Copies of this chain bind each other. A is one copy, B any other.
Amino acid sequence: MQTLDRNPSLIAALQTRRTKLAALVNVPVLLWSGSSSPRNFRANTFPFRASSHFLYFAGLPLENAAICLDSGKLVLFMDEASPGSALWHGESPTRDEIAAAIGAYDAYPLAELDSQSEMATIAVQDATTRSHQARVLKRAIASADDSQGFDLALAQAIVSLRTTHDDFALAELRKAATVSIAAHKAGMAATPYARTEAAVRAAMESVIIANNMTCAYTSIVTVHGEVLHNNQYHHPMQPGDLLLADVGAEAASGWASDITRTWAVAGKFSPAQRAIYDVVLAAHDACIAAIRPGVEYRELHLLAARTIAAGLVDLGILRGQVDNLVEQDAHALFFPHGVGHLLGLDVHDMEDLGDLAGYETGRVRSDRFGLNYLRLDRPLQTGMVVTIEPGFYQVPAILQDLERRSRYQAVVDWDRLAQFADVRGIRIEDDVLVTATGSEVLTAALPTKAEAIEQLVQS
């Protein structure tokens, strides 16, 4: 935690969230922030990240703290910094100063945290704090995606609040988006001078670090975009390669962004790359154009699937009727993941709760190859922020799979596909706010059109 400015608009936003929660749950709530995870020894920790649920109601990334939420009031539990800590960590704000900064009703040392009645909680990620949760609440605490009883009721209430964003959250999401956009532009500009993926990653993350933010997730910066979660950066970049960069900043407040762009290492797309790029972009644009309250996100996914299938038919890679191709999941040979997810304090927002946030009550994941990886299946609401991230990949594990090759033998022109061998992976991803009348692309300041991307790389 750095400076402690008393920010009336933060306090007001937090108070509204707490009041809304009080209307939804009828037991007191205890939420923990968590503690730092050790890396190779206890004093060498990973950077502390507070639990998102805690951040949502407490507003500050306090380490080793807990809050009790009852009838809209917040009581803070945390210890003052030890006297010796000033030597190593500098002067810290007092507990009372912190309590004032977040609009707490009262504040006590952690030792006074005691469960007087049945209280609801959500398990944090780190094991040390989870055992503290169990000790205080005098019961076993299931992992967050396996909550039961009033813990589950709390999780559902939090989902209903966090699924749409208030103005304070949106302001923070915009800050994160702005820095991510600058990071992507820096990555494009660095490409002509970079020889490895790592060098481009450095240029991008350096913008995030310089803005005193962190990465919201492990960056993907790779010439092997066909490996969907590729966290390797050692490959040299060849002039004919595409570079796929999925990099997003997280504001100090915890709010995330998530952007993917794909560009040509040489600056200019090859004709094959450009053709596929435009197919993916058409899917991206079609989905965004279709966003408005009430639209089912699953329909956006299927719209992306149809747009990609249609584009691949036009290019002669797929054969058949578009609807029929999507019905048999032929699009998923090249677009095997979902079109996006909720975005908020987590890059996959509230994924700690399993599919509770992503899936409307009563819905479960489909078994279908083309739908199984869809992370979001809800009607859109004003104030939601979702990613839209269609892609095209030539994944050897899919395309070389003999069973799949035989199943899709008739609908894929494998010879024609071979002419697109220099397109291993393309994804275009933006963060989109659902508005009352349609949508607003929070990341719109970063171009998506092929020519504009080419210009940014060559500039």
Contacts and interface: CB of A to CB of B under 8 A. Distances in A.
A229 B194 CA distance: 33
Contact of A396 (B91, B210, B224): B91
How large, as a class, is the contact surface on chain A? 35 or more
A346 B398 contact: no
B40 A352 contact: yes
Interface string A208-232: 1111100001100000101111111
A207 B199 CA distance: 8
A125 B196 contact: no
Contact of A89 (B210, B227, B352): B227
Interface string A222-265: 00101111111110000000000000000000100000000000
Given A87-B397, A128-B127, A347 B209 contact: no
A70 to B, nearest CB: 25
A96 interface: no
A345 interface: yes
Nearest to A232: B2
A202 interface: yes
A201 interface: yes
A202 B198 contact: no
A139 interface: no
A180 interface: no
Nearest to A1: B232
Contacts of A125: 37-42
Contacts of A212: 196, 198, 233-234
Chain B CB count within 10 A is highest, among A201, A229, A397, for: A397
Contacts of A437: none
A199 B205 contact: no
Contact of A3 (B47, B201, B234): B234
Interface in A81-107: 83, 86-91
Contacts of A3: 234
A198 B227 contact: no
A261 to B, nearest CB: 19
In the complex, the count of this chain's copies comes to 2
A348 interface: yes
A418 interface: no
A44 interface: yes
Contacts of A43: 348, 351
A299 B449 CA distance: 66
B46 A51 contact: no
Interface string A46-70: 1101011000000000000000000
A226 B91 CA distance: 11
Contacts of A348: 41, 43-44
B47 A40 contact: no
B227 A40 contact: no
A203 interface: yes
A424 to B, nearest CB: 11
A43 B228 CA distance: 14
Contacts of A234: 2-3, 212
A398 B40 contact: no
22 contacts: A37-B46, A38-B125, A38-B126, A39-B49, A40-B51, A40-B125, A41-B346, A41-B348, A44-B217, A44-B351, A83-B397, A89-B230, A90-B232, A91-B397, A126-B127, A194-B210, A196-B210, A198-B209, A198-B210, A202-B210, A203-B206, A212-B234
